Structure formats: structure tokens, C-alpha cells
Chain A
Amino acid sequence: MKVWKYGDNINTDMLFPGKYTYTCSTAKEIIPHLLEDLDSSFSINVKKGDIIIAGKNFGCGSSREQPVLGLKAVGIRAIIAESFARIFYRSSINQGLMLIESPDAVREYSDNDYIELNINKGIIKINRKEYLFPKIPKEINEIQNSGGLLEYTRLKLKKKNK
């Protein structure tokens, strides 16, 4: 597992350039351009189970969801940041991409530190220190448990039209 570390205000144009937003919408089309203008090695070397650690306001900018779709598709296990921008946050709930807000853990982590993630218990372990992160609210958990917002909506429609 690799940890990809980035700074503050990583915006949607860095995560997925705007010039492709109306020509790329499937995972296959998105992946080659993921983080293109931020870190050109990312889309080549990223592996399933990798983690992203970043500073404040991760995902700020456009409402484009390609970054979330792409990061989910390449198998990013979680993004740990000091804070997230709100549309990016909602988008991640909709796609079932795990976001963890933990400013302390972000500040503690330096390159090549040991890191372990227990999502069920809400614990990040860095070297020997443990950091707790809050559980997801139950209304939102329902969406994630259904497998994302579209699945959740499908279930809702089925129930309503029975």
C-alpha cells in the first residue's frame, strides 16, 4: 500500500482537468487524466488499497464528480484530510468513497511512517499513536450501505412503486 501525500486546497481542476469534463464520464475515460496537472505519476502507479493524505479543503472547486468516480475506480481505500470541500464530500458519499477528516492525523504523518486504518472502529494508527475519527451519521450511512446514492434511489423507487 502506498500513501500519496498532497497539500492544502487540492482543487477539482488538479484532480481532473475541466477541459475533459464533457468528453470523459466513464471510469475508463477518467483514469488516465486523474490528478494529471497535480502529479503525473499518480494514474500510472496508483494501486488498489492506496491511501491519500492531504491538507485543508480537499476537492474544492467545481461540482464535477469525475475525481470521485476515478479515485473510487482505481481503488483508493480512503482519503484522510484536514478538511474537505462540501460538494466533494457529498459526491464521495454518493459513490461510496471513504473520506476521513482528521487534522491531527494529517499533521502527524510524515513520509514512510507506519499507517493502519480501521474503518469500522473509526481508528487511524500512525506509528504507535491512534487517532479516532467520527462515525458517519445514520442517514448517510444508509446511502453508503445501499452501495451509493443511485442504488439507494433505486431501492426507494421500487418500494414506492410496489
Chain B
Amino acid sequence: MEMTFAEKILTKYSGEKNLTPNQIVNVSPDHLLTHDNTAAIIQKIQNELEKYGIYSNIMPIIVLDHVIPAATEKTALNHKKIREFVNKFKIKNFFDVGEGICHQIVIEKGFALPSKLILGSDSHTCSYGAVGTFSTGIDRTEAASLLLTGETWLKVPNSIKINLKNQLQKGIYAKDLILKIIGDISASGANYCSVEFHGDVNKLTVEDRFTITNMGVEMGAKNSVFPVDDVTINYLNSIGISKSFYNSIYPDNNAHYIKEYDYDLSLIEPMIACPHSVDNVKPVDEIEGLEIQQCFIGTCTNGRISDLNIAAKILKGKKISKNIRLIILPASKDIYEKALNLGIIQTLLKSGAIILPPGCGPCLGAHQGALAPGEKCISTANRNFKGRMGCKDAEIYLASPATVAISAIHGRITNPKEAL
């Protein structure tokens, strides 16, 4: 039987044969990711933890990133409880406040590898398909159960194939492509499905792929994945993981897909998701000139070195509009350091930017850079839901780092094409 990527991975992890979509299988993931929500997760199972301990101290990956440094006594107490839990059960993979955003850490530290299975108590766990991992989000209760038992159930998904051809033009980025796709497919268009990218993917770096797979959940996907190729292999080499550490699994040529889409990358324009839904996507040109008050470059979608570099190129020797706050957030400490060494941070600071510590920052509206009623923010994040940045009467627009940076100079939404 010809199989999709998801069918092959789930065959491997369930030990069952001839899987068909909608079948339910039992799996033990290689890793379980949790973050600040670990406090709430362990709270649910205190008695069981006392009695039985945890299933494994290597499986969990815990990263403190959502509200860091702690904003209130309550969030500080959560962090404290998590550190105590980590020490008590000798959890090996713990990253304290300031290391970076959980999804960046999982990839950067080499936990995400081709054809591994990772579950995480965060919806953007789907990001690791960038390096060929099968990864998807679960909730806190399921994470609690996994901590104790190391296993859970998954439904074999249907698969969607997206064929890419040609190359993105100068000034057009992975973010524009994924926004275009989500606008076409809709916020529920890939519900429960595994999304596979095929075709001319070799011009997309691992960072580009990360931006694309990260937003898989914004079209409802269970997971989203790129094939492992030289780009992946070179990236993994660069973080010290040689080919002998992993196997790659590829879908069969005649596997069954419920839908196929074709995209000519050379035709993609700068795109922007307008309030209050990620699939409300328009070409930037359509709303050019709209006044904004805050610009935000960061998050697990677009807080990497290439993103900061694009922003620095645009902002070099320029000043942001006096009506704007420009917030920059490197997605990890490593990225922050690199950006410092390359002079990117200095350029951004000189232009008038505020640099926040590596973490989620204003993305979820819990602290740092919340919006006021009536304000508009253009952001490189993955969600523009009503209230997402702390205020239900504010508006969030999602775009590429280039669009956000050029918009910061003008104080208005601006097409970046001319600037590059």
C-alpha cells in the first residue's frame, strides 16, 4: 500500500500495519514539550506524581518562555514550582527563563529530528515539520497523562499535498507565502489533516520552512511537514547533528491525498492578515497607508536571525516614525547573541527599536507591549485574534518582518518591495 508521510510515521510509532485515515492508534512520542503551563499540568496529578513518579526524565522538554521574566507574584510562583518539579524528578531537558521560545529551543537544540514524533502542550508544536518531524499540539490534561504514562492515542489523519514551484521574488518571504496559502485554504481548510509540502522546496531555508510549518495550525492542520533534503541535512550539521543520528521517511509517490494545491512562488506578493482572523488575508497594497501605533518583530513565527537581519537592512541609518513603538524580540538567546555579533541589534536600537528578552513577549497579551483600545499593531506573529494582544478593541495585522520594518519607518502599513 502506498502511504503518506503521516501514515508511515504512525505505522512506525504504533507498530500496527496497513493504517487507514481515521483509525485510532496508540503511540509513545520521543518528546513531550511543555512551558509555563507545566505548573498547571503538574498541579492536576500531584498525588500520582508522589505515588508513581514520572514515566521518563528524558522525554519531557520544559521551556519557560511565555511570561518571562515573571510579571506578577503568581507567574513567579508558577516558575518556582516548575523549577522544584524539574529538580525533584531530575528532568534533563529544562530551559529556564531567557533561553528562548520553546519551539525555537526544540529545533535549535536538536530535539526535533527527521521522522521523530513530538507532542507538545502548545498549538504551534506543529512547527517541527520544518526538519521532517511529525509534531502536533495537545492540551494540558493530555500532557499530564503523558508525563505519567508516556503514551497516548492519535487518529491517523488524511493528508493534503501542497506543490511549490519556482522561487520567491526579492523582497517576498516565507511569511507572505504561508499567509497567501492560509487565505486561500481558510482557517479550517486543513482541519485534522497532515499537510505535506512538495516540489521546489530547496530554495526555502530551514528558517523559511519553520515560518511555514509554524502556521500550519492556523489552517487547522494536525501537522505540517517538509521533506528532508540537503537544506535540512546542512542545517542539522550546523547544530552538530550528523546524518548518522537520524533516518528520513518520505511519502510514497502514489500515496492518497484528499486535496492538492499548486503554488507558483514567483507570483507571490507581500501579503497581510487583517483583523480578526488569520485567513482574512489581502495583498499589502490593498491596505497600504493605514496608520499604526505599534510594530512587533519576533515570536516563534519570525524571530530568527534572518528575520532580524531583514529588519536591520531596512532600518539601517533610518529612524522609525515618532508615532510608533517598534518592539523586537529575538526568539532565543543564541539568536540574540548572533544578532549582537553581527551588529544587527545596534542597528535596530539606533533606529529607535526596543529589544525584549527572548521569549513570547507581547504575542499572547499577558505582559510587555499590550495594546490600548483603538490601537493598531502590525506584527510578525501567527495570530491576530480579537483580544490576542491584551485588548479586544485593538487591531492586529500579520505580515513579514520586511513589511513590519518598513511600516515602522512610515508609521503606516507599507509595501516593502521598493525598500529592498
Contact = CB atoms under 8 A, between A and B. Distances in A.
Contacts of A11: 277, 385
A78 interface: no
B301 to A, nearest CB: 14
Contact of A61 (B36, B75, B365, B385): B385
Interface string A93-114: 0110000000000000000000
Contact of A161 (B52, B142, B365): B52
Interface in B56-70: 66-67
Contact of A62 (B44, B123, B390): B123
A21 B187 contact: no
Contacts of B192: 86
B211 interface: no
B248 interface: no
Contacts of A86: 191-192, 220, 222
A23 B75 contact: yes
A151 to B, nearest CB: 10
Give the bracket for the number of chain B residues in contact with chain A: 35 or more
Interface centre among A9, A86, A94 (most CB of B within 10 A): A86
A21 B367 CA distance: 12
B76 to A, nearest CB: 11
Given A91-B139, A139-B153, A22 B123 contact: no
A128 interface: no
B349 to A, nearest CB: 28
A2 to B, nearest CB: 23
B75 A22 contact: yes
Interface in B117-140: 120-123, 125, 137-140
B148 A157 contact: yes
Interface stretch (A12-20, A45-53, A115-123): A12-20
A130 B148 CA distance: 43
Given A22-B67, A22-B74, A156-B149, A37 B387 contact: yes
B169 interface: no
Nearest to B193: A86
B366 interface: yes
A13 B385 contact: yes
B142 A18 contact: no
Given A23-B72, A137-B24, A161-B52, A18 B388 contact: yes
Most-contacted residue by chain B among A56, A62, A91, A94 (CB, 10 A): A62
Given A19-B366, A83-B191, A157-B149, A95 B141 contact: yes
Interface in B270-302: 277, 279
Nearest to A91: B139
B321 to A, nearest CB: 27
Contacts of B383: 13, 61
A149 interface: yes
Contact of B44 (A63, A137, A150, A161): A150
Given A149-B141, A149-B145, A19 B191 contact: no
B52 A157 contact: yes
Given A17-B365, A57-B188, A86-B222, A22 B141 contact: no
Given A11-B385, A13-B385, 12 more contacts: A18-B365, A21-B66, A22-B67, A37-B386, A62-B122, A63-B137, A64-B140, A85-B188, A87-B137, A94-B145, A150-B144, A157-B148
8 contacts: A12-B385, A23-B74, A37-B386, A63-B120, A63-B125, A65-B141, A154-B48, A157-B149
Interface of B: 24, 36-37, 40, 43-45, 48, 51-52, 66-67, 72, 74-75, 78, 120-123, 125, 137-142, 144-145, 148-149, 153, 187-188, 191-192, 220, 222, 277, 279, 364-366, 370, 383, 385-388, 390, 392
